[in-house]
Structures are given as structure tokens and as C-alpha cells.
A and B are shown apart, each in its own frame.
Chain A
Amino acid sequence: MNTVATTLFLQKSQEPMQWWNLPEVWWIFVGILLLLLEMLRPRRNSASIAKASIFAFAVMLIASLGWPTGLETTFFGGAYQWDGLAIFFKRIFLIAGLATTWMMRKCEAQGIQGRDEFYILPWFAVAAMGFVSSVGDFVTGFVSIELLTVCSYIMVAFYRSDRFSLEAGAKYLVIGALSTAFLVFGITILFGTGGSLRFDQLANSLASGHQDPAVTMGVVLVLVGVGFKLAAAPFHWWAPDVYHGAPTPVSAFLAVASKAAAVVFLLRLLIGPFAPLWTQCQQVLLALAGASLLVGNLGALSQRDVKRVMGYSSVSHAGFILLGISAGSQPAMLSVCYYLLAYTLATLLVFGVICGMIDKTGGSLMRQFNGLAQSRPGVAWLMTIGMLSLAGIPPLSGFFGKWFIFASVWQEGMYVMVFLAGFTAVASLFYYLAIVRHMFFEKPADGRAISSGLSFGYQLLLVVLAVATVAVGLVPGAVQRAIYALIFNL
């Protein structure tokens, strides 16, 4: 495996990295290559593009094992940082990209026009997120987030004949523009007061001048912009609608990859320019976390559509992640990374099942899952594993994610937040079990909604995600140690 990696990136050696070796450069290259392939190939047949895209994601994921760890360097004058945190998130993005394109292939049968770009856009989105995870100044950050968002606009509205998809696209566009406005306004103010866009320089100047109310305003505006991307309450309104209307693989992509990108951008800001303003940031983050936990978990209770439930669920998980971040310690950072890994695997699993089972664009009512345990018991159990991990039932990975976040928040003495998180977690069991109920307790209505069959490859994807969800929970200590070694360069 490592030989493949070393032929791709000759980096295991101690030689300094070169900019053309950076993974994002390769990813964009792959995207352009796929576009060329699409243009040059003789017959219109998107299967080849899809296969090439999936294959390339798999190769890049394997190649990521060969990335140099324990090495901190910067490129492009400090605009790009290479370190363990970036590596962790880049791997998450690759996993999400791989699973998403795989799901897109499953959607292929549903008559999408101009479907080839569907497999190519994730490459540009993933590259954009890769840049976000390495961001070292506000310009890079802003441009990468915009590249990600523009790719997402197209993907969300990809079912051009479906009005739900178009509605979702329009909503996402408006909300995306709004959040960009907040973000760029905040960046402008910070630039005006701090005199630089580079994170390290900004940190120095903000450390001296952080009493300035303009700085606080800039920081809050940037956090609001990130809150939109993260789907944290009260900036979450788009999430259920967009997840509902978008093609299922794209919903999965937004729920997992886009959220992880927002998380890493937030982490970069907090360890970089916002570090001197930690106490103010912590208040904002705690407020966002509390609101997200309440709104996400209570909002999901009355939903009848699985994808809307997942939308609200993603809001509540954003709350958990923000809660962990607001604890602000080194163990808390590890807990957040562990939580994000568990969330990624379980959410991809759940969306994978939804995508595989519902042969229809747009919504996926819970009713359509009626009797799934009878018609396809295996798939129903996989879905149950995903749901229970998200709900935090031991010994699945979601439980340990919550447990570690509780512990790191308790360590900081924020007991009220632990109680709030605990009790909203109980409420969350209600809506996760509601889906289990439809699968196990109800009789199938007419069997029309349930898809005919899944290919071997797709089943393999689901099983691998489920096994990973269980396995990350069975060895929580080892996973945390690995993350620790990666992030803190040991």
C-alpha cells in the first residue's frame, strides 16, 4: 500500500515537501482530468466517469496513508499550513467524497440530465475543503469556502426537473450568499482593525487591541458566518429544507463534509487569530451549542421525513461539536475529532441506506421505510446501527463520542451544559427510534417505494461503514491515541 503512496507522493523521506506535492493540487488535477475524459470519450456513458471518479477517490484515500505526519510546514507565504489537524480532516473529506460518489452512482438510474458533472463536482468540493483544513489566512479561507459553496449550489439543484431540488438549490443559494456576506463583512472589519489577513499576524495585533468593540463585532460576524455553514442554531433554518430537497448523496455530502469543513475552519480560527479573544468566543460558542442542542433535538421530534430528521439531527450534532469546542482544552479537541469521525461514519451509513432504498427524488417519508425489516432485514439492521450510533447507544462509536465530549465539558466545570446535552440526547432517541419503529413494527404499505435491489458494491459500502461505526466504538482508546498522535505530532 505504501508503495502506491510513495510513487504518488515521494514524501515519506525527510525531504521538504513541495507545493506540487500537496494533495489538493492532485485532487484538482484529477477533477480536470475527469472533465477532459468526459469531453473526449467517444460514447455518452457516464458509468465510465463514475467508475473513474470512485476509483480515483479510493486511490487518493490509500495514498493519504503515505502523507508525512509529524511535520509542520507552511506554503504560499503562510497561506497554507500542513499539520496533523489538516491531515485528519483531509482524510475525513476523502472518506466522505468516496462514499458520496458511490451513492451518486446508485442514483444514476433516476434519470438525471447532464449527469457526468455529478461525479466530477465532488473533486472540486473536496479540494476546496482540503484548502479550508489547511487555511492560513482569510483570503485563502474565504476563496476556498466559496469554491466549496459554489460546487454545493450546483450539486443541490442537480435534479433540474424536480421542484424540491430546485427549491432547495434556491434556498441554499440565498442562505449561502447571506452567510458569505456575514463572513466577508466580519473579515473586512478584522482586516481594518488588525491590519492583516494572515492568521499569525492577526493574532498578534488582536492580542494587543482586543478591547476594541469593532474587533468583537468582526469576530461575532465571522462566527455567525461559520455558524451558517455548520448549520448551528439559530442559523440552521436552511438545513432541513436543503437536506430534504437535495439529491440524497448531496445531502450526505453537506451533512458530513461541508460540516466538517466548517468545524476545521472554526478550529483554525480559534487556535489562530481568535486565540486572544477566547473568552468572548467561548460565550458565543456556548450559546450556539445550547441553541443547536435544543432546536435540533426538539425540532426533529415532529418530522415525518427521514431526510428532514437527518437535517435536524445534523443541527443537534453541530451542537455537540460546538459544545466540545467550547470546552477549549486539548482533550476536548481530541473528543471533537473522535465525535466527528463517529458522526461521519454513522451519517454516511444512514444516508447510504436512504439513498439505496428510496427510488425517488426529493423526500423520503418515514412511511416508505415501513416493513423494511421484513423485506430486507440486513439493510434494516444496518440502518438501525447507524441510527443507534447517532443516538449514542453503547457500545457504538456515537456513544463514546458523546461520553468524551461530556467528560471534557465537565472537566471545565460547565455542568449545566452537560445536563442540557444529556437530556437532549434522551430526546434524540425518540426520533431515531421512530425510524426503527417504521422499519420493524409497521407492515409494508405497497412495496412500491422500496428499491428492488442493491448491487454487491453498494452493499459492500454499507457494510464497511457499519463495521467501521462499530469498530471505532470497540477500540475508542486506540482511535483517540491515533488522533492524538496525528494532531499533536507524536
Chain B
Amino acid sequence: MTPLLMLVLIPLLGVVAIALRAPARSVALAASALCLGVVSWMACSYNAAGEFRWEWVQPWFQIPLLGSTALRFGVDGVNLPLLVLTGMVSVSALLVAPAKIERESEYYGCLLFVIAGAYGAFASMDLMCMYIFHEFALIPTFLLIGFWGNGYRRISISFQMALYLLAGSIVLLLGMLGLLFSLPPEIRTTDLRVLQEVLSSYPLHPDSQGMIYFFLLIGFGILVGLFPFHTWAPKSYSAAPTPAAMLHAGVLKKFGIYGLLRVAEPFCPVGAEEWNSLLLMLLIGNILFVGWAALSQKNFNDLLGYSSVMHMGYLFLGLASGTPAALTGVVLLSVAHGLSVSGLYAVQGMVASRTGEVEMASLGGVAKKIPVLGFLAVILAMASVGLPGLGNFAGEILIFFGSWQGLSAGWQTGAMLAALVGVVVSSVYMLRAVRAVFYGTEGKARIEGVGLSLTERVALLIPVVGLLVLGFVPTLVTDDAAASLSRWFVW
């Protein structure tokens, strides 16, 4: 029994307990805290210099046509930080979740299901299992947005999200089929460790690499919100209840990036080169077009959604340049972005629950009434902008350096320039939002209730402390990540 299996089983057992009428909120919190404990212990005792640890394999099924699939777990310097991210965000999200809510047990059951899916997707070292665990989260998110969400359009938004994500998954599935069928039948498997070993010595045929990479890029890309397939994301996040938005924007969206980093880039290097200019064009769209859209948002919630999609452009830039430094930066920025965006969604939820308002024009002066909230919110906003001393800066700078290293003329230069402009754009909209919500005179919306409760403080401190630690000691993540990447990629 590996601790990784426990990460999946604990939330699922929590769902069972809730189904048996145990107090939902306490069970959910206990389960997520236990998981956070397990991942923290793993992070502290990893010490393997990029090797895989806590591996566990259980053969699942074998089909003559498709080879073997195993329930395989394993962790190295790339997915361990993402698991820690999952643990931190899930605890923070459940702390933010309201104590009293209609149909409480189903609400917390859905959240636990999403958490189990996220842990499973990041801990699996089998392509099929990764896919299945990621799909775990689809239907619970649909239910969370449709029933507990905000706004009168929540039902149509929940449908849009579910269809978009399923479409992405189907494209991904076609890419997986292509990958499997370009292997000779006797070594067909979805086991990533085996695939990596085989493909590093016997690369796929360049033609099939191009096709496979394209499908994987679009499939994973839709899950991440790659321009122009991003339209579902801001809407869904602003319609979702706060914990669901935190989990989805903070954790699940990183699954697409992780998949590209773990599967598409290393297995299809030639294909990646072939489609490099397409990816660069699309990521310019992510940074400039979505950044532009973020500038004109009037609603704090929507602004966060666009901002989170925009920053995916930086992760794609790291993937597109493909140098060791940039890919290490992708791992670091994924974690830092997950922490900052989920923290910002938590802040947004707290503001909205006190004022009942999300329009920035009618908000204002929150920091005067609740200084702690203002202080923590500013730290999170600065992290998202990329202020030195916070995790996002370290990740972005690594990506910039890495892209500079592999710089070639053409779209790459354009993407670098766009990314630099994007830093300015993101500071403009984020600072504007901070000023409108937290400073200035109190707006139309009256702030009700008092300061932050203890649980709310803890919920915000988790990402803030995480970002500070990553900002000052990024080597905690980057050392192992770089070591693992150098084992996983053939450079």
C-alpha cells in the first residue's frame, strides 16, 4: 500500500462516509487534512534526486488491441509539487466552503470526488488512469456549478463547461489511440514508465509524432483553456461556487499542462517542433487577447477568470521553448499560479459573501473595514502579477530565461515580446482591481459582518505562506523537478 493510493482512497472513503450520513463538512475537512498530511510527509521525505518513489503497480486489464493498462502510481520531482498543491488548495477550498448549505452532503461529496480525481490524475503513472481520474471531476463540477453556482445562467454555463471538457477529453482520447497504435502490438501499453523507456531509445515515426502531438496539444489545451478554446473557463469559474472554482482553476487546470509536460513533449519531440509555431501563435492569443479581455472586465469574479486563463500563456511559453530551465519553470509556475489563483478566488468569495456584490464599481474600501483581508489579498494579487519574492516571479523568470536560451527568430521572439507586454497588462488590471475593491471610498455595497474568522484566515494563509516559501526558496521545487525532467526527457 503506497501513500499515493491512500491519497485517492481517503477522499473516496470520505464520500462513502458522507453517503452513510456522517457529518459532511467535518468528514470532508478531515479527509482533505489527512491527505495534506500524507503529501506533506511525502514532500519532506522524498530525497530521491529526481528518481521515482513510492511506486505501486497493480495490473488492471489487458486487451489484445490496446495492450495492458495498470493502476500505476509513482511520484517524482515533477508531480510531487503538484500533489502538494492539490493538498494545500483542497484544504483551503474546504475551509472556505460554507458551513450551512442546501443539500450539504451532496455538496461535500462532489467536492471530495473532485479532490480524489485531482490526486489520482497527478499521482498516476499510467495514461489511461490519468485520463480516467481526470474525468472523475467532470460530473461533480457540472453538478456543483449547476446547483450551487451563482447567477441565473449557471445551468447553461455548467452545460458549456461539461461539453467543452468532454470534447477536450475526446480529442485527447484520439491522441492516445494514435499513440498506442503507432507502437507495435506486442509492446502496446499505457504505462508511462514503460512508454518513456521504449520511446527514449526507439522514437516514434516523425509523421505519426506530428499527428499525435497535435491531438494531445488540442486535447490537453482545451482542458487548460488554450486560446481560442478558453471561453468556457472564465464563465465557469465565475458561476462556480468558490471552493469549486478554487479547485478547478487552481488544481485541475494544471492537469492539462502536466499532461503536455509528461506525455506530449517528451514522447513526440519532433511533433512538438512541427507544431511549435502554432502553439506560439495560440499562446500569444492567450496572453494578449485574453489579457485585453481581462482589462475590460467590470466584475471581480470574471476578471480573476480571465487572469487565470491569461497566465496559462506563460506556462505554454515554457512548454513551447522546451529548454530544461523553461520546463522547470513550468513546474514551479504551475504550483505558484495554482496557489495564487485559488487564494484570489477565496478572497473573492469572502468579499462576495460579505457584500453580496461582485461588480467592482459598487465595491470599495474593503481593506479599511477588514485590514487582514486587504493585506492578504494584496499579497496574492502581487503574486499573480509576478512580484519578486513570491512564487510566480521565480517561475516566470525561469520561463523567460529558458525561452531566451532557446530563442530563435520568428514566432518565438513574438511570443517573448507578448509575454513581456503581458506582465504589464496583468499588473494594470490586477492593480486596478485591487484599488477598486480594497481601497478608495466604500462603494454602494455595504460590507456586512466583521473580520475574518479563524478558518478563513487559515484558508488564506495556506496559499500566502506557500507563495512566500516558493518565492524565497524556489529550489525546494526546482532542484527535484530539474533532476526528474532530465531523466524523463531525452535532451
Chain A contacts to B: CB under 8 angstroms: 331, 373-374, 377, 384, 388, 393-395, 403-404, 406-408, 410-411, 418-419, 422-423, 425-427, 429-430, 433, 436-437, 440-441, 475-478, 480
| Chain B residues closer than 8 Å to A395, beta-carbon distance | 132
Taking A440-B147, A478-B61 as contacts, is the C-beta distance between A394 and B131 under 8 angstroms?
yes
- A437 and B155 contacting across the interface, CB-CB below 8 Å: yes
Taking A374-B103, A404-B63, A407-B65 as contacts, is the C-beta distance between A423 and B177 under 8 angstroms?
no
Contact of A430 among B146, B163, B171, B174 (CB under 8 A): B163
- B181 and A410 contacting across the interface, CB-CB below 8 Å: yes
Within 151-175 of B, Cβ neighbours of A (below 8 Å) are at 155, 158-159, 162-163, 166-167, 170-171, 173-174
CB distance from B107 to the nearest CB of A (A): 12
| Chain A residues closer than 8 Å to B138, beta-carbon distance | 393
- A477 and B62 contacting across the interface, CB-CB below 8 Å: yes
Q: In the complex, what distance in Å separates the CA atom of A429 from the CA atom of B163?
A: 7
Taking A404-B65, A411-B65, A477-B61 as contacts, is the C-beta distance between A426 and B163 under 8 angstroms?
yes
| Chain A residues closer than 8 Å to B181, beta-carbon distance | 407, 410-411
| Chain A residues closer than 8 Å to B131, beta-carbon distance | 394
- B170 and A440 contacting across the interface, CB-CB below 8 Å: no
- Chosen A-B contacts, 14 in total, with CB atoms closer than 8 Å, are A377-B106, A384-B139, A393-B138, A403-B66, A403-B173, A407-B65, A418-B177, A425-B170, A427-B163, A436-B139, A440-B146, A441-B155, A476-B61, A480-B63
Q: In the complex, what distance in Å separates the CA atom of A433 from the CA atom of B157?
A: 13
**B143 interface residue per 8 A CB criterion:** yes
Looking at B64, B146, B166, the one whose CB has the most chain A CB atoms below 10 A away is B166
Q: In the complex, what distance in Å separates the CA atom of A437 from the CA atom of B64?
A: 38
Fill in one digit per residue for B162-202: 1 if any A CB lies within 8 Å of its CB, else 0. 11001100110110011011000000000000000000000
Within 71-118 of B, Cβ neighbours of A (below 8 Å) are at 103, 106
Q: In the complex, what distance in Å separates the CA atom of A484 from the CA atom of B159?
A: 39
- B174 and A422 contacting across the interface, CB-CB below 8 Å: yes
**B273 interface residue per 8 A CB criterion:** no
| Chain A residues closer than 8 Å to B155, beta-carbon distance | 437, 441
- B167 and A423 contacting across the interface, CB-CB below 8 Å: yes
Taking A426-B166, A429-B162, A429-B166 as contacts, is the C-beta distance between A419 and B146 under 8 angstroms?
no
| Chain A residues closer than 8 Å to B64, beta-carbon distance | 331
Contact of A410 among B162, B166, B171, B177 (CB under 8 A): B177
Q: In the complex, what distance in Å separates the CA atom of A476 from the CA atom of B10?
A: 25
Q: In the complex, what distance in Å separates the CA atom of A437 from the CA atom of B103?
A: 15
Taking A388-B139, A393-B139 as given, write out 10 further A-B residue pairs in contact, using a Cβ cutoff of 8 Å, ordered by the A residue number.
A394-B131, A404-B66, A407-B177, A407-B180, A418-B174, A422-B173, A422-B174, A426-B167, A433-B142, A436-B142
Q: In the complex, what distance in Å separates the CA atom of A429 from the CA atom of B158?
A: 12
Contact of B63 among A377, A388, A437, A476 (CB under 8 A): A476
| Chain B residues closer than 8 Å to A476, beta-carbon distance | 61, 63
- B170 and A423 contacting across the interface, CB-CB below 8 Å: yes
Interface residues on B, range: 20 to 34
Looking at A406, A408, A411, A441, the one whose CB has the most chain B CB atoms below 10 A away is A441
Interface contacts (Cβ under 8 Å), in number, total 84
Q: In the complex, what distance in Å separates the CA atom of A394 from the CA atom of B139?
A: 11
Residue of B nearest to A422 (CB): B170
| Chain B residues closer than 8 Å to A373, beta-carbon distance | 103, 106
- A433 and B162 contacting across the interface, CB-CB below 8 Å: yes
Q: In the complex, what distance in Å separates the CA atom of A478 from the CA atom of B69?
A: 12
Residue of B nearest to A423 (CB): B170
**B55 interface residue per 8 A CB criterion:** no
CB distance from A484 to the nearest CB of B (A): 9
Contact of A477 among B60, B132, B166, B167 (CB under 8 A): B60
CB distance from B287 to the nearest CB of A (A): 28
**B442 interface residue per 8 A CB criterion:** no
- B132 and A394 contacting across the interface, CB-CB below 8 Å: yes
- A406 and B60 contacting across the interface, CB-CB below 8 Å: no
Residue of A nearest to B176 (CB): A403
**B135 interface residue per 8 A CB criterion:** yes
Looking at A331, A373, A395, the one whose CB has the most chain B CB atoms below 10 A away is A395
- A475 and B61 contacting across the interface, CB-CB below 8 Å: yes
Q: In the complex, what distance in Å separates the CA atom of A156 from the CA atom of B353?
A: 55
| Chain B residues closer than 8 Å to A406, beta-carbon distance | 173-174, 177
CB distance from B168 to the nearest CB of A (A): 9
CB distance from B122 to the nearest CB of A (A): 17
Q: What are the nearest 10 A-B pairs in CB distance?
A: A477-B61, A394-B132, A422-B170, A331-B65, A426-B167, A441-B146, A394-B135, A407-B65, A476-B61, A477-B62
| Chain B residues closer than 8 Å to A419, beta-carbon distance | 174
CB distance from B376 to the nearest CB of A (A): 34
Looking at A394, A395, A403, A476, the one whose CB has the most chain B CB atoms below 10 A away is A394
| Chain A residues closer than 8 Å to B170, beta-carbon distance | 422-423, 425-426
| Chain B residues closer than 8 Å to A331, beta-carbon distance | 63-65
CB distance from A108 to the nearest CB of B (A): 32
Q: In the complex, what distance in Å separates the CA atom of A410 from the CA atom of B181?
A: 8
Fill in one digit per residue for B24-61: 1 if any A CB lies within 8 Å of its CB, else 0. 00000000000000000000000000000000000011
CB distance from A377 to the nearest CB of B (A): 7
| Chain B residues closer than 8 Å to A394, beta-carbon distance | 131-132, 135
Residue of A nearest to B168 (CB): A426
CB distance from A466 to the nearest CB of B (A): 14
Q: In the complex, what distance in Å separates the CA atom of A462 from the CA atom of B31?
A: 30
| Chain B residues closer than 8 Å to A418, beta-carbon distance | 174, 177
Residue of B nearest to A402 (CB): B173
| Chain A residues closer than 8 Å to B163, beta-carbon distance | 426-427, 429-430
Q: In the complex, what distance in Å separates the CA atom of A433 from the CA atom of B132?
A: 19
Residue of A nearest to B170 (CB): A422
Residue of A nearest to B167 (CB): A426
CB distance from A392 to the nearest CB of B (A): 9
Q: In the complex, what distance in Å separates the CA atom of A437 from the CA atom of B163?
A: 14
Looking at A426, A436, A440, the one whose CB has the most chain B CB atoms below 10 A away is A426
| Chain A residues closer than 8 Å to B139, beta-carbon distance | 384, 388, 393, 436
CB distance from B232 to the nearest CB of A (A): 13
Q: In the complex, what distance in Å separates the CA atom of A393 from the CA atom of B69?
A: 18
- B159 and A433 contacting across the interface, CB-CB below 8 Å: yes
| Chain B residues closer than 8 Å to A404, beta-carbon distance | 63, 65-66
| Chain A residues closer than 8 Å to B143, beta-carbon distance | 436, 440
Q: In the complex, what distance in Å separates the CA atom of A430 from the CA atom of B64?
A: 32
CB distance from A403 to the nearest CB of B (A): 7
| Chain B residues closer than 8 Å to A388, beta-carbon distance | 139
| Chain B residues closer than 8 Å to A410, beta-carbon distance | 177-178, 181
Q: In the complex, what distance in Å separates the CA atom of A440 from the CA atom of B65?
A: 39
Q: In the complex, what distance in Å separates the CA atom of A395 from the CA atom of B71?
A: 13
| Chain A residues closer than 8 Å to B162, beta-carbon distance | 429, 433
Taking A407-B177, A425-B170 as contacts, is the C-beta distance between A441 and B135 under 8 angstroms?
no
Looking at B131, B173, B180, B181, the one whose CB has the most chain A CB atoms below 10 A away is B173
CB distance from A374 to the nearest CB of B (A): 7
Residue of A nearest to B66 (CB): A407
| Chain B residues closer than 8 Å to A427, beta-carbon distance | 163
| Chain A residues closer than 8 Å to B147, beta-carbon distance | 440-441
CB distance from A222 to the nearest CB of B (A): 30
